[in-house]
Structure 1
Amino acid sequence: MRDSQKKPSVDSKQTKPRRFIFLLLDKFTMLSFAGAIEPLRIANRVAGRTLYTWKLAGENAAEAVCSNGAAFRLDMGLDEIERDDTVLVCGGVEVQAASTKPVLNWLRREARRGVTIGGLCTASYTVAKAGLLDGKRATIHWENQDSFLEEFEDVRLTKSVFVVDGNRLSTAGGTASIDLMLKLIAQDHGEDLANTVADQLIYSSIRTDQDTQRLSIPTRIGVRHPKLSQVIQMMEQNIEDPISPASLATDVGMSTRQLERLFRRYLNRSPKRYYMELRLQKARNLLMQTDMSVINVALACGFASPSHFSKCYRAHYATTPYRERGSQGSGSVRLSI
């Protein structure tokens, strides 16, 4: 920002800077972490005073390595913090392995003291594993939603880019951290400052907690056809109990033959084939991200028997569900970004 530019008005009731503790899990995602810490730095700069401070924490108190191999020097270990601090847990790949007992116990201890705690990217898993999201609304990266739903039934999972529910925060990963931090800055010091920070970031479209993290179905499939989008939405919402093509066609006011022609024209596959691919994609996520047995994965994806599931899986992925599970290692959570 040029010196000649007018500083934004800062509406602040805070008597001291708000401090964030970034708990960096092993193999955390740099993008989500940077998207959270940079708005704080910029807020201080454009306000011309220290509104926010932060420390980097980790289990070993020395160094944390993110998923791209970059290492960060830590300021502290799992030490006791102040009650008015905000903890943001930064997750990434293999978050289950990174959610160790010391980390979970530290989060539970600080939560009992009333500390605000959030999970960035896959770290919503860590916060939920500590039991801190039970009965709360939360979000997590879309790729990890299926496995999260299977493990944490008491969490009200949404598809929002971020969620603030009381003193629990969560983001979907990627640039969603920026949206969350802009909201917190606006709450702390006013919309004027938050908008100025967004401008500094060249962030022209600020999302709210009402925005969903995935592209709309027409954008995702590259086709704008209302009835096709409606059918695909019904398919995605009914994986465990698949709906027959005839019923899908009836629900959108078409004949089964018309539905077949629609899928062939725009997606070059039958409705049955497309539905099967959706179910197998969910099955693969569950195999790679959870400890669910193969038979339970099969049932969760609408397959009546493990043998039929295995046959379909092998035809699509050229490997069996059992080999897929073995190649990934039980319980590891991957992330695409």
Structure 2
Amino acid sequence: MDIANSTTRPFRVGFLLIDGFALLSYSAAIEPLRAANLLAGRKLYEIEQLPVLGGQSVSSSGAIIKASAHLGERVDFDLILVVAGGDPARFSDERIYQWLRHLARRGVRMGGVSGGPVILAQSGIMAGRRMTVHWEHAPALAEFAPALILERTIYVIDRDRLTCAGGTAALDMMHALITGHHGADFARRVSDWFVHTEIRPAGGPQRAGPVERYGTASTPVLRAIELMENHIADPLELGQLADLTGLGARQLNRLFKDKLGRSTMGFYRDLRLDKADNLLSQSTLNITEIALAAGFANSAHFSHSYRQKFGRSPSARRGQFARSDLPERHRV
């Protein structure tokens, strides 16, 4: 995901609302953007509401959200977030799928909240992308499309795709989005506005907290790791990590070496290789696709780096797992 320049035009976000969407999930995704505008004193985010049909959409609790834009209008969105609840697997609208595919081909970032990732998967735009979904919908989605790279996490940002499990997890995902655009300090101000002081990483909650996982309570280091986890397939440069954590590149490097015993970019490379190792055992992606998903420019560079870390080639690792086992291992 590109790092936005704070001096450019507002970042345009469209919320595609599927009737029966959960109001909490929707609010947790949209309110951080509204608060960011308020705290910045200017419009950082331009927000549009897009019901599937007509002039309004209705949540599961009966709340009515009026349309501010409609499908097919000439609006240059930077991000579309699909918000759905209930039983999204029963949703079927080829017009919506075609529109989402059209925007994806144009390079618009696509996201899903709660049941929204199911709609993205049904439209066929999640191939080769890591993703998550609310636990209630995960078994049906895995059955529908066993080749999807489903993860048991609260949110996943993979290049131009953002997916989250819904509920309060949307607060954490939007914190990551705002951090990428305007830095960790400003994103923290937005989270504090909602008394959301315990920001969860993309990998939570099924892993230990970052302090326990990495053995450090250093705020800049943990902020940098959060950025790394959110930019696996599109790695940030050292200067970008430093800027977004509010430090100089040398300061950040010194902290990583002091707290974790590795350079910043060495740690980052190992994080990406660990993700690739997981994909080799848990997905049916070919090695070139895994290389790209882990942020390597080509399979040759990936294979060299993988062998250096693990002492064997990616193909040897893949050979440990029978192809017939992969769909079952891949299921959520």
Task: Give the shorter-chain TM-score range.
Answer: 0.5 to 0.7
* Cα displacement string for residues 98-120 of structure 1 (whole angstroms, at most 9, x for unaligned residues): 34221111111111111100010
Note if 1:46 corresponds to 2:39: yes
Aligned positions, number? 207
* Cα displacement string for residues 280-335 of structure 1 (whole angstroms, at most 9, x for unaligned residues): xxxxxxxxxxxxxxxxxxxx9xxxxxxxxxxxxxxxxxxxxxxxxxxxxxxxxxxx
Q: Is the 8 A contact 1:139 1:157 kept in 2?
A: yes
Task: Report the equivalent of 1:25.
Answer: 18
Task: Report the equivalent of 2:191.
Answer: 198
RMSD: 2.0
Task: Report the equivalent of 1:55.
Answer: 48
Task: Report the equivalent of 1:114.
Answer: 107
Note if 1:94 corresponds to 2:87: yes
CA gap of 1:67–1:43, structure 2 versus 1, over 3 A, is same
User: Displacement of 1:77 after TM fit?
Assistant: 2.0
Task: Report the equivalent of 1:73.
Answer: 66
Q: Is the 8 A contact 2:14 2:77 kept in 1?
A: no
CA gap of 1:113–1:61, structure 2 versus 1, over 3 A, is farther
User: Displacement of 1:191 after TM fit?
Assistant: 0.6
- Which amino acid counterpart does residue 155 of structure 2 have in structure 1? F
Note if 1:124 corresponds to 2:117: yes
In structure 1, runs of 5+ residues without a counterpart are 1-10, 217-299, 301-337
* Alpha-carbon distance between aligned partners in 1 of 2:98 and 2:147, rounded to the nearest angstrom: 20
Pairs within 5 Å for 1:1-337? 12-212=5-205
Q: Is the 8 A contact 1:87 1:117 kept in 2?
A: yes
* Alpha-carbon distance between aligned partners in 1 of 2:139 and 2:40, rounded to the nearest angstrom: 42
* Alpha-carbon distance between aligned partners in 1 of 2:52 and 2:177, rounded to the nearest angstrom: 26
* Alpha-carbon distance between aligned partners in 2 of 1:82 and 1:124, rounded to the nearest angstrom: 22
* Alpha-carbon distance between aligned partners in 2 of 1:99 and 1:188, rounded to the nearest angstrom: 34
- Which amino acid counterpart does residue 160 of structure 1 have in structure 2? T
Task: Report the equivalent of 2:244.
Answer: none
Give the SS at the match of 1:42.
Answer: helix
Task: State the identity %.
Answer: 37
Q: Is the 8 A contact 1:142 1:214 kept in 2?
A: no
- Which amino acid counterpart does residue 111 of structure 1 have in structure 2? A
User: Displacement of 1:94 after TM fit?
Assistant: 2.4
Give the SS at the match of 2:137.
Answer: helix
* Cα displacement string for residues 80-133 of structure 1 (whole angstroms, at most 9, x for unaligned residues): 455552000001002133342211111111111111000100110000000111
> TM-score, normalised to structure 2's length?
0.59
CA gap of 1:215–1:208, structure 2 versus 1, over 3 A, is closer
Larger Rg: 1
Give the SS at the match of 1:53.
Answer: strand
Give the SS at the match of 2:107.
Answer: coil
